[in-house]
Chain A
Amino acid sequence: MSFEYGLYVPGRSVFHRIDPRAKIIWALTVLAFSIYNGNYVMNPIYGGMIYASVLIALISSKPTSFWYKLFGGLSVAILFFSLLFWPASVPLGGKPLLVIPVLGWKYTDLALRLALSKAFLVLSPIIAIATIFITSRPGDLFQALVKWRFPYRLAYIPILALRFLPTVIVEIRTIIDAQKSRALELEKGSIPSRIRKYVAVFVPLMIRMMKSALELGVALDSKGFGAMKTRTFSKELRWRIYDTLILIMFTALYAVMLIVITRFLAW
């Protein structure tokens, strides 16, 4: 995967066409409902539904297979560790379902509920935020932040990081190839020794990046970055009724689901 446009994957899905500001508000809504559920309601079915909604948003934007693998792996890992450690670390009452013999960890129905809710609390906002980056051009995200009165010099820093993602990946590959040709065996040895070997990749990368930073600074200067207090945008973001409708739809969905599930499907 080359990350040509940073994290952005070009496409024409519904999410691609929404104003980035609406997407940011949507992700914050997901975050708010997830926190509320994960900390107060702790209903795994509701958590699972929010998780399903962000998954649908992600899948509908047709990202590359890299993202499916990443979030598939992440979901399995977080669910696994959450189920393993939450019940053990928080003593809760409830009906015991399973007891681990030697360690004495008790898995009750309450513990299971807590573990699943916490897992969804972590997963849903991460996927929602990633969906923003996958479906928005970095330049549009920049403009969204500027429209919200973030100082544009600061708002451009994360955009530059996205822009240089492909450059850094190419650099890392070049350095790894160069070091391998000098007999550095990155794939061999124990995990600590492999980590140590990566120092030989990390140090040259940092030095190269620092050297390039000066050129980048001069380039920004000669493009007049920071020249004016405000700047124009040649392709201006326009908030449409469509954006408002989508936001209302999602918020209503989360609110109605919350009411229905807590009233009628209380665990």
Chain B
Amino acid sequence: MATAIKIEDLWVRYREEEDYAVKGLSLEIGEGEFVLLMGPSGCGKTTLCLTIMGIIPRVIKAEVKGSVRVFDLDPLNASPTEIAKYVTIVFQNPEMQLVTTSVYEEVAFPLENFGLPRDEIKRRVKEVLEVVGLSGLEDRSPASLSGGQKQALAIASVLALRPKIIILDEPTSQLDPQGTKRVTDLILKLRKEFETTILAVEHRIEWAVEYVDRILVMSGGKIVLEGDPKTVFSKEIKPEEAGFRPPQVSEIAYKLVRSGVALPTIPISLNEALNIFRGILDERAASS
């Protein structure tokens, strides 16, 4: 597995701020990995993403120390066009990222900007709209879509360029359960079909916990906890300290452990919890 993102000893300080927003952070993400970045507000998650994109320091001026590599590219010194071929970001609010007045134009827009031939554009638009499940809505206005569809369109539009890495900034925070499911399915499809590396910044975990390869927990500009979901949630996480809630089933398990129930592992998904709890009940029934 090739390295998609490699960060070494990164320090970022915004202009006129005394403290660094990111403090000596090192990180490596492999190609095709699905990584979730979690942590309280203001812990430096967004700063980290914007630095990977090169938006810091190119657009938002800040002091940056350390090194960032995206495949063989140095985003801190590359042009936005070069960066767009490797890594792209989809923000929380899809509204501001949809810049045309029809679904078709929205997906064709980046391809047209790169001057691709007409037939290639038509082919890719068709393909991408099928992947995100928006086929048949080509002539609709983005303003008339539902929240989940808008988010899917925002992803589709950057996907058409076939970036190797997609950064999703709280992709589900404004979505209802149906919209969240649409985005989850889309992410799984992207990984399967294009082997896209995905870095998602999130506060909510439930939708992704079963599929994510690795969770990074940030606090105070550093990564304080790292590992697969099972490892990360094996020890009790207190929402008020961590800045995010563990899966609800894990919270129930923490309570059970505290009240003296012996659990083989801390479950992270509903199915896993069901199996564990059923096992315990069966055991008790057998012993009594």
Contact = CB atoms under 8 A, between A and B. Distances in A.
Name which of A166, A167, A224 has the most chain B CB atoms within 10 A of its CB.
Answer: A224
A4 to B, nearest CB: 4
Interface in B80-110: 80-81, 83-84, 88-89, 91, 93, 95-102, 105, 108-110
Contacts, number: 123
Nearest to A233: B112
A159 B93 CA distance: 20
B115 interface: yes
Given A221-B80, A222-B88, A223-B158, A234 B125 contact: yes
Interface in A202-220: 212, 214-220
A188 B88 CA distance: 48
Interface string B131-165: 00000000101011000000000000110010000
Interface residues of A, number: 39
A221 B110 CA distance: 9
Interface residues of B, number: 42
B121 interface: yes
Contact of A163 (B80, B84, B99, B157): B99
B97 A216 contact: yes
Contacts of A250: none
A215 B97 contact: yes
A11 interface: no
A226 interface: yes
Contacts of A163: 98-101
A35 to B, nearest CB: 32
Nearest to B144: A4
A222 B105 contact: no
A236 interface: yes
A212 B98 CA distance: 12
Interface in A131-153: 137-139
B84 A167 contact: no
Nearest to B141: A4
A167 B53 contact: no
Contact of B113 (A3, A8, A225): A225
Contact of B84 (A5, A222, A230, A236): A222
Given A2-B144, A223-B161, 12 more contacts: A139-B105, A163-B99, A166-B141, A218-B55, A218-B59, A222-B88, A222-B110, A224-B114, A228-B114, A231-B114, A234-B125, A235-B108
Interface of A: 2-6, 8, 10, 137-139, 159-160, 162-163, 166-167, 212, 214-228, 230-236
Interface of B: 53, 55, 59-60, 80-81, 83-84, 88-89, 91, 93, 95-102, 105, 108-118, 121-122, 125, 139, 141, 143-144, 157-158, 161
29 contacts: A4-B141, A4-B143, A5-B141, A5-B143, A6-B101, A10-B139, A162-B101, A163-B101, A166-B141, A215-B96, A216-B97, A218-B59, A220-B99, A221-B80, A222-B89, A223-B84, A223-B158, A223-B161, A224-B110, A225-B109, A225-B110, A227-B115, A228-B114, A231-B112, A231-B115, A232-B115, A233-B118, A235-B108, A236-B118
